[in-house]
Amino acid sequence: MSIYGMKNSEQLKAIKSVTMSKEQLEERKRKHDEVDLASQKKLKKDKKNKKDKKERKDKKDKKEKKDKHEKSHADIKTQKAENDSSVTESSVEETPAQDSGYVQSQKLNQVAQSEVDEFFKENEVSVEDPSNLALRPLLAFDQISLSPEIQEEISKFSKPTPIQAVAWPYLLSGKDVVGVAETGSGKTFAFGVPAIHKLRTTDSLKKGIQVLVISPTRELASQTYDNLILITKKAGVHCCCVYGGVPKDDQRAQLRKAQVVVATPGRLLDLIDEGSARLSNVDYLVLDEADRMLEKGFEEDIKRIIGSTKSNGRQTLMFTATWPKEVRELASTFMKDPVKVSIGNRDELSANKRITQIVEVIDPFKKERKLLELLKKYQSGARKDDKVLIFALYKKEAARVERNLQYNGYKVAAIHGDLSQQQRTQALGEFKTGESNLLLATDVAARGLDIPNVKTVINLTFPLTVEDYVHRIGRTGRAGLTGTAHTLFTEQEKHLAGALVNVLNGAGQPVPEDLKKFGTHTKKKEHSAYGAFYKDVDTTKKPKKITFD
Ligand SMILES: Nc1ncnc2c1ncn2[C@@H]1O[C@H](COP(=O)(O)OP(=O)(O)OP(=O)(O)O)[C@@H](O)[C@H]1O
């Protein structure tokens, strides 16, 4: 029986017994640490004798497994030193890291250091790790032993993407991680795979919700759920998705069974408040699109949600393609000595380099006529069936443009905040399957959505921030493909011209003279002004905050 099926007194007992066993565990760990030095010496002796080692492996029982999990950092550093010099017979050992059973495989140990260096260089990887674990990136899937359901799912890809390659070892070692990598670079599995692997390899199926992923929009939550369920279903782990705009009953029932939950903040808080979502066992918490989740509009919700999760021993993850300085301090208050993994030079705001960016400065009154011209250009001849995603800023604007496009004979799907959730889901579905090849959206679709084969993104109205621009155009050029982003820029957005010029320069894209004339001054972003325009609100409830979309 799950804890949710128990009476109050039974629940208390159950919670207490979990706490007790945790304390016992910590006591054991302390004792283990005291004898750690001695056991390390012994282990090193054993390592010299291959025959003994094999026998030891065969005899691997529960206790040995636990010992591996609890080896100290000293072991890792020794291993690193061995790796750094040369790959010797004795260095081809399993290397345990920190506390949670990540063991660097022999195959990975055997990779020459020059290959690792080349990977770091080629992908412009930066790792800031306060504990100096120096874990090697996984250059191939066979360099890690994951549970079979996961192996099966990821084997459809040829190798880990760079963010997966670098983040997985740290995540499997129990570290908090900030993961910053370009749009469409596989961040969902970067945080999802270690989450499910950990659930599968620990006795955790009876503990209720342990993995929580927070997403800024219903569509992204739903997409993340669709990705995770590919693995959880086969692994016997129950995953559910909760977001607003749809009835709660089914979500309540799902939450009673779930170990993994993907949620938008508003609906999750409702379910927490009414007692349907209990997060006290959540020890793997992900803020997807983390900078968005830490903006003012979400900040309080996020604080409350995090406050309901496990405070001790929780692993906290933040993943995004943009990581502005303005949110870093707040992020650090929720994390413990996080490892920051960054792929590509992401200290400066940068866009995916496989996207061709065209920026046209235009009179605001000419934008809609220009849009019709652009559609002719991007959907004609051999390109007539190409998928085009158009971004507007305001939902009223989106509704008006939608009517105008329909009047001009276009079959256009639309998603914005004035539509019901059912209409939004249907429109996105039609665009994903190709039933419709034109989607008009507000920033509800700016982040995270992984829509196959979007060839062109048109920014009819520039977003409120250049970060949002990077996310919007990132709906094309995903998973190694190329794409085009065509942006109409008006004088009304001139305060963003400098930041946009930087992004264009950073990606090696041409900067139009008309844009330069607005000056290249970049206005310091204020926390309250930062972020996507869009915030999902439950229209059935009285709004607490003013939203413009
Ligand atoms: N190892 C891999 N090799 C190739 N493709 C992959 C790999 N892992 C994931 N993908 C695919 O890459 C695409 C983009 O992944 P995902 O949606 O996770 O990107 P993202 O980095 O989260 O993007 P965004 O910043 O826009 O949220 C998906 O279609 C996913 O299936």
DSSP 340-381: EEEESS-SS----TTEEEEEEE--GGGHHHHHHHHHHHHTSG
- 480 CA distance to ligand 1 centroid (A)? 9
What is the pLDDT, as a whole number, of residue 502? 94
Which residues form ligand 1's pocket by a CB distance below 6 Å? 157, 160-161, 164, 181, 183-189, 321, 448, 450, 474, 478-479
Cα–Cα dist 507/254, whole Å = 44
Condensed to tens digits (0 to 9), the pLDDT of residues 450-484 reads 999 999 999 999 999 999 999 999 999 998 899 99
Backbone angles phi, psi at 359, to 5 degrees: -120, 130
Contact 475, 445 (CB under 8 A): yes
Q: Write down the pLDDT at residue 172.
A: 96
CA of 160 to the centre of ligand 1 (A): 10
- Mutation to probe ligand 1, out of 223, 289, 469, 478 (largest number of atoms < 8 A from CB): 478
Confirm whether pTM is higher than 0.90. Answer: no
Nearest in space to 264 (alpha carbons), one of 232, 309, 231, 223: 223
Closest to 344 (Cα-Cα) out of 353, 355, 334 = 353
In angstroms, what is the span from residue 500 Cα to ligand 1's centroid?
25
CA dist 320 and 528 (Å) reads 19
- Between CA 416 and CA 432 the distance in angstroms is 16
Work out the average pLDDT over 41-59.
Answer: 48
pLDDT-derived band of residue 348, with 50, 70 and 90 as boundaries?
confident
Q: How far is ligand 1, taken at its centre, from the CA of residue 187, in Å?
A: 6
Both tokens of 190, joined, read 């970067």
- pLDDT by residue (tens digit) across 51-64? 455 455 555 544 44
With b meaning 16 or more CB within 10 Å and e meaning fewer, what string describes 367-401?
Answer: bbebbeebbeebbeeeeeebbbbbbbbbbebbbeb
Closest atom of ligand 1 to 160 CA is 1
Q: Which atom of ligand 1 is nearest to 158's Cα?
A: 3
Q: What pLDDT, on the 0 to 100 scale, is given for residue 101?
A: 73
Query: Cα of 526 to ligand 1 centre, how many Å?
Result: 30
Span from the CA of 36 to the centroid of ligand 1 (angstroms) = 41
- Cα-based torsion angle of the residue sequence 501, 505, 507, 508 in order, rounded to the nearest 10 degrees: 130
Tens digit of pLDDT for each residue in 290-328? 999 999 889 999 999 999 999 888 999 999 999 999 899
Atom of ligand 1 nearest to the CA of 448: 27
Q: Which segments of 207-289 does DSSP mark as H helices, in order?
A: 218-235, 249-257, 265-273
pLDDT for position 56:
54
Testing ligand 1's pocket by substitution, the residue of 152, 163, 168, 187 carrying the most ligand atoms inside 8 A of its CB is 187
169, 102 Cβ separation under 8 angstroms: yes
- Report ipTM (2 d.p.): 0.99
Give the other-Cβ count within 10 Å of 90's Cβ. 11
How is residue 42 written in tokens?
């012994």
Count of beta carbons in the 10 Å neighbourhood of residue 412 = 22
d(C-alpha 162, C-alpha 164), whole Å:
5
**Atom number in ligand 1 closest to CA 154:** 1
pLDDT at 531: 43
H or E stretch including 393?
none
Q: Whose CA is nearest to atom 22 of ligand 1?
A: 187
Ligand 1 atom nearest to 471, measured from its CA: 26
User: Does the pLDDT value for residue 163 go beyond 50?
Assistant: yes
Q: Which of 21-35, 343-357, 390-404 has the lowest mean pLDDT?
A: 21-35
- Which of 189, 223, 293 to mutate to test ligand 1, by most ligand atoms within 8 A of the CB atom? 189
| Gyration radius (Cα) of the chain, Å | 25
Can you tell me whether residue 276 is helix, strand or coil? Answer: coil
* Count of alpha carbons within 13 angstroms of residue 68, beta-carbon side: 17
377 Cβ contact list (under 8 Å, min separation 6): none
Domains of the chain: 106-343 (3.40.50.300), 355-517 (3.40.50.300)
Please name the amino acid found at residue 119: F
Q: Are 209 and 2 in contact (CB under 8 A)?
A: no
Q: What are phi and psi of 426, to 5 degrees?
A: -65, -45
Rounded distance from Cα 282 to ligand 1 centre (Å): 25
CA–CA separation, 243 and 248 (whole Å) = 9
Q: How far apart are CA 80 and CA 83, in angstroms?
A: 5
Using alpha carbons, select from 474, 527, 522 the residue that is nearest to residue 499.
522
Cβ 93 vs Cβ 104: under 8 Å: no
CA dist 535 and 475 (Å) reads 19
Query: At 135, is the pLDDT very low, low, confident or very high (cuts 50, 70, 90)?
Result: very high
